[in-house]
Structure 1
Amino acid sequence: MIGRRAALKGLFATVGLAAVPGLAACGSSGSGGGGATSTTVSLGSNYSDAVPKKALADVIQQFQDAQKLTVNINTKDHEAFQNQINSYLQGGPDDVWSWFAGFRLRFFASKGLAGDISDLWSSSLAANYTQAQKEASTGDDGKQYFVPFYSYPWAVFYRPSIFQQKGYAVPKTFDEFITLAGKMKSDNIVPLAAGQSNGWPQLGTFDQINFRTNGYQFHVDLMAGKEDWGGAKVRATFDNWKRLTEYYQPNAIGRDWQTAAQSVLKGEAGMMVIGSQQIGQQFSTGGKLDDLDFFAFPSIDPQFGQDTIEAPMDGFCMAPKPRNKDNATKLLTYIASAPAQQTYLKSDPTSIAASNKADASSYNKLQQKCVQFVNDAKHITQFLDRDTDPGFASDVMINAVNNFIKNPNDIDGVVKFISSQTSQYFKK
């Protein structure tokens, strides 16, 4: 997550058609990525950090052994891959390439830069995933372009031992949530840990409150610029959020999310809206992963209840014209399988396989709950910076949310600022 804001800038910026040096796909010769032979397939990967790179290599080795095919992995720095993705795709991508669900998927699918794999979904993939996951893998044209690999849900995380000790009950409604926060404050526990120096963490809280206030469809349409960012519904989201701000950790803008998560680990703060992957890393390192639990963000409007959750999904797409479509299809089919995903997750005790056929008995307690949480969801969102234009997320929403946290009484100013910027990013 380091440098995430920088990676968002210019993600979909207009650039030349030639692939950026160093990110171009491997060539079409036998020694290159796609290969003219029938035994090769190329994979463009942003899994550049040591642990995920090794984990993905283990998955690919199993595929190669089983299929007797050679996968040429074209690994590039995670943030460089995101920054230069437009040129990479227009310049001729690898047969299969790593990417994200949500707006970032739909954007490239609408430009014809991702391959239609609807037939693969119909023939074999659908049985591995929930309807909500299929929805997140679908372009604006109703066709599928994405294979989910792993995910991690966002929710309200807490230590059950402290809840038990203090007699706290998990809230179901927003009013109960506010009441619980008040009890924690009176017990000299910071109700809500908050770290916003990284820029993006509190975007997740906006998402939670917005789809609880206005529903899934309004949320995704708002992210796409199809709804009014200056309207009453967005104001209602900030009005609801304002009720929580008095329970926030002071100086959230000056604290990173890791430090905020550590305050939950230490028992200084009672709850935190964050992803399982982020806070789970802190608890795992601290040796207290067994004392980490979560609940769905409480209901605000009963008509929407808690039917929507946020669970960003990483996965893979196929090139529109892969050099070796048969082998690319075989690789995607394997990537969708439970064994492949569970092999990858051996290195990560905080995320879950996207496949609903994964063996839950191999999961820790946190992962098992995450699986049930995702499987029960009617709708799944992908996090604001994946569900909307990345420039809008980085240059508008981060600034707007920071201003709101600094002064939650100026909702008019925050909403007017957002609304004044939308025409730069969304076509009417």
Structure 2
Amino acid sequence: MSRPQSQAEYLARLVPPSVAGINRRSLLAGAAGTGALLGTGLLAGCGDDSGSGGSSKDVSLGSNQSDPKPKDVLVKVTDGFKTSSGVQVAVNTVDHNTFQENINNYLQGKPDDVFTWFAGYRMRFFAQKGLASDISDVWSKLSGYSDAFKKASTGDDGKQYFVPATYYPWAVFYRKSVWQQHGYQVPTTMDQFTALGAQMKKDGLIPIAFADKDGWPAMGTFDILNLRINGYQFHIDLMAGKEAWTSDKVKKVFDTWAGLLPLHQPDSLGRTWQEAAQSLQQKKSGMYLLGLFVGQQFSNDEQDDLDFFTFPEIDPAIGAKALDAPIDGYMMARKPKNEDNARKLLEYFGGKAAADINLKNDPAVLVANSGADVGGYTALQKKAAELVGSATEIAQFLDRDTRPDFASTVIIPALQQFIKNPKDIGGLTSSIENQKKSIFTD
């Protein structure tokens, strides 16, 4: 469930600052094609020739769960698997961002038997390339999943390649005590939202906590504005390369966002999402658009003071029912060294026992398996589950709904450039469109 921690820093380390735009993309693509990045140690320890310790009873797991909380939870889940099966899991944890950026040549090299990944487009992308194994037989043993979760786990060929574990909606979070102190009301329209932000400024608060040093948080803002302004289908088609970034519809998204930037926490490109969350936790900011994992920055005693609302309506004809609710889970490499144990591990990950361990240890996620003991959900988790349940459409998040190379090497620098200079929307969208045409024709 962890999100990347230092996207911009990683890209800066990987590619010299003087290399930009399509050149940076080409360099990354070339490196991925030759497997050059594997020699840098970015995924050191994954897919070792030794078969994760050499024991036939072992199974290896490549994990991007690098934040402390989800990393600790995964240890507890794999311990549960060992207790029930006698199979040891060798977990190779890599910084989420490094894992994500190097995933292509990782899977083409000597990957772990099982690896953490995402549902939807990103899963289908690697399944279609033959870099993941069909696990339909594992799905035949699973129960407790809705058709929507199965669909999100299914490749273009109709076979399953993914086991969902947790998910989390994106919404606007706030502290109830701060809002009660000032008498704030939840906005349901954009006019009410901007008026609330203006009032928060007068009250000495930063209206909207914001951070984009990591590269990905700004994607959430783009997503929700595009979903509210242009609707779900346009958003998904845009992510798939089927719509033009130079269209008036996309320009309206950036124009709307530019109008909201004065309400956002300044100097966001030098701030991590955790630091922005701490601004909310410390009652310095009034709101924060982020995933449910924002709760990881709040103590247990503060959890009851955390609340949220879905981003308000912009166009009454479109409404406010669509949202981002990314699904995290697991896939199996195309040629696992210990295939039988890999399938056993995936079956365990998809079962009630693993879901219950997740629930017990992390209040900042929701579990995909409906058979889990959700009686332990906090009030915030219950509300989040209800929000997702009432959504008419669910997106997976920008960097999961489009090609990995397009998200990391075009969209991240483009959105950061927009934050620095929101006035040149025409130049920005033209640049994105030109690079999109090159990438989506590869």
Paired residue secondary structure (2:32):
coil
Query: RMSD of the TM alignment (CA)?
Result: 3.1
Partner of 1:205: 221
Whether contact under 8 Å (2:168, 2:327) holds in the other structure is yes
**C-alpha distance in 2, partners of 1:153/1:18?**
36
Whether contact under 8 Å (1:99, 1:314) holds in the other structure is yes
Q: Which segment is superposed worse, 48-57 or 311-320?
A: 48-57
Partner of 1:179: 195
Matched, 1:329 2:343: yes
Q: How much does 1:324 deviate?
A: 5.0
Task: Determine which of 266, 269, 276 is the counterpart of 2:282.
Answer: 266
Q: Percent of counterpart pairs with the same letter?
A: 49
Partner of 2:113: 95
**C-alpha distance in 2, partners of 1:145/1:249?**
40
Q: How much does 1:208 deviate?
A: 0.9
Whether contact under 8 Å (2:359, 2:374) holds in the other structure is no
Matched, 1:191 2:191: no
Name the aligned partner's letter for residue 8 of structure 2: R
Partner of 2:363: 349
Q: How much does 1:222 deviate?
A: 1.5
Q: Which segment is superposed worse, 18-27 or 235-244?
A: 18-27
Task: Determine which of 373, 395, 415 is the counterpart of 2:409.
Answer: 395
Q: How much does 1:26 deviate?
A: 4.9
Partner of 1:293: 307
Name the aligned partner's letter for residue 146 of structure 1: F
Whether contact under 8 Å (1:11, 1:83) holds in the other structure is no
Cα deviation code 1:297-320 (max 9, x no counterpart): 112233442332212322101233
Paired residue secondary structure (1:306):
coil
Matched, 1:73 2:90: yes
Partner of 1:320: 334
Q: How much does 1:50 deviate?
A: 5.9
Q: How much does 1:330 deviate?
A: 2.8
Whether contact under 8 Å (2:46, 2:62) holds in the other structure is no
Whether contact under 8 Å (1:23, 1:81) holds in the other structure is no
Tell me the TM-score normalised to structure 1 length.
0.85
Cα deviation code 1:330-354 (max 9, x no counterpart): 3212111232123145443322222
**C-alpha distance in 2, partners of 1:83/1:248?**
28
**C-alpha distance in 1, partners of 2:37/2:415?**
35
Pairing 1:102-141 to 2, within 5 Å after superposition: 102-121=120-139, 123-125=140-142, 127-141=143-157
**C-alpha distance in 1, partners of 2:120/2:10?**
17
Matched, 1:417 2:431: yes
Partner of 1:405: 419
Whether contact under 8 Å (1:26, 1:42) holds in the other structure is no
Name the aligned partner's letter for residue 296 of structure 1: T
Whether contact under 8 Å (2:295, 2:364) holds in the other structure is yes
Alpha carbons of 1:303 and 1:253: their partners in 2 closer, same or farther (altered >3 Å)? same
Matched, 1:2 2:5: yes
**C-alpha distance in 2, partners of 1:25/1:221?**
35
Name the aligned partner's letter for residue 2 of structure 1: Q
Paired residue secondary structure (1:202):
helix
Q: How much does 1:85 deviate?
A: 2.7
Q: How much does 1:104 deviate?
A: 2.5
Partner of 2:74: 56
Q: How much does 1:271 deviate?
A: 0.9
Alpha carbons of 1:195 and 1:76: their partners in 2 closer, same or farther (altered >3 Å)? closer
Alpha carbons of 1:23 and 1:120: their partners in 2 closer, same or farther (altered >3 Å)? same
**C-alpha distance in 1, partners of 2:375/2:29?**
39
Cα deviation code 1:76-101 (max 9, x no counterpart): 42355434433332235343222222
**C-alpha distance in 1, partners of 2:128/2:367?**
27
**C-alpha distance in 2, partners of 1:129/1:172?**
32
Name the aligned partner's letter for residue 283 of structure 1: F
Q: How much does 1:31 deviate?
A: 6.2
Tell me the TM-score normalised to structure 2 length.
0.83
Matched, 1:143 2:159: yes
Q: How much does 1:118 deviate?
A: 3.4
**C-alpha distance in 1, partners of 2:36/2:206?**
52
How many residues get paired? 419
Name the aligned partner's letter for residue 205 of structure 1: T
**C-alpha distance in 2, partners of 1:259/1:224?**
32
Cα deviation code 1:3-62 (max 9, x no counterpart): 2335577489533479947445355979637x3xxx554433344566544432322232
Task: Determine which of 238, 241, 247 is the counterpart of 2:257.
Answer: 241
Name the aligned partner's letter for residue 127 of structure 2: A
**C-alpha distance in 2, partners of 1:372/1:385?**
25
**C-alpha distance in 2, partners of 1:92/1:107?**
19
Whether contact under 8 Å (1:132, 1:378) holds in the other structure is no
Name the aligned partner's letter for residue 249 of structure 2: K
Pairing 1:354-369 to 2, within 5 Å after superposition: 354-369=368-383
Task: Determine which of 324, 340, 362 is the counterpart of 2:354.
Answer: 340
**C-alpha distance in 1, partners of 2:172/2:105?**
38
Task: Determine which of 197, 210, 230 is the counterpart of 2:246.
Answer: 230
> Structure 1, unaligned stretches of length 5 or more?
none
Matched, 1:283 2:298: yes
Partner of 1:160: 176
Whether contact under 8 Å (2:52, 2:90) holds in the other structure is no
